Amino acid sequence: MLEVSDLQVRYSGIQALRGVSLNVGAGEVVALIGPNGAGKSTLVNAVSGLVKPAAGRILMEGRDLAAMDPWAVSKSGVIQVPEGRQVFPQLNVLENLQLGETALQGRPPAGGLEDVYDLFPVLKERSAQLAGSLSGGQQQMLAIGRALMGAPRFLLLDEPSLGLAPVVIAQVFAALRKLKSRGMTILLIEQNVRLALDLADRAYILDQGKIVLSGTSQELAADASVVAHYLGVMSE
């Protein structure tokens, strides 16, 4: 479904991605893991059109996403849940969710509002509450729900557990497992490697702008070098 080939991204002369290649099949959950500053967010920002690559290709079912504006990428069904939530604090929960529908742009809606409320009941309870007054965990649920309102065919998740309490992380990942069971295609960036590998079918390890290892989640979780260099540090 997604094919990234030899992707290179530079910021003010600094090479953030150095020839990254990866692919995601329809219905797969693929994790992208690695240390801070490895280029993970740069990669998903390039896929969603927020960052323009210096070289390489980003193909979604054969369409060149790198040549498209961000609004056109989201219109095609590639929708990102950004790091740090980025909800609209002065709008209420319902208004934030309704804004997610702007990504439809003529595409048919999926489950809609009731489906989001079924996934995150607290959003229904707080539908009239200002988004800025929600807890961090509730804002993360809102950010995911807003993306789902756009009926994503391909969902990009950037650090969904960042800054959340363990009980909230469990709730968020339970919702992600439901989305996986429904066949949603997901590219996941997650600092908690154990959580990421538990959810994902496959994973790529990105370090210093390069893919250094890839495989099934089971293979990587059983790899002593991965455990030593990534799981032992990054899942704390």
pLDDT value of residue 232: 53
As a whole number of angstroms, the longest Cα–Cα distance in the chain is 49
Architecture of the CATH domain 2-234 = 3-Layer(aba) Sandwich (3.40)
In single-letter form, the type of residue at position 51 comes to V
Q: Supply the pLDDT for residue 231.
A: 67
Tell me how crowded residue 206 is: count the other CB atoms within 10 A of its CB.
25
Q: Which residues of the chain have pLDDT under 70?
A: 231-236
CA 48 to chain centre: 10
- CB-neighbour burial class of residue 209 (10 A; exposed 0-12, middle 13-18, buried 19+): buried
DSSP 38: S
Return the pLDDT at 174: 96
Q: Are strands 154-158 and 185-189 parallel, antiparallel or unpaired?
A: parallel
Residue pointed to by tokens 């927020």? 50
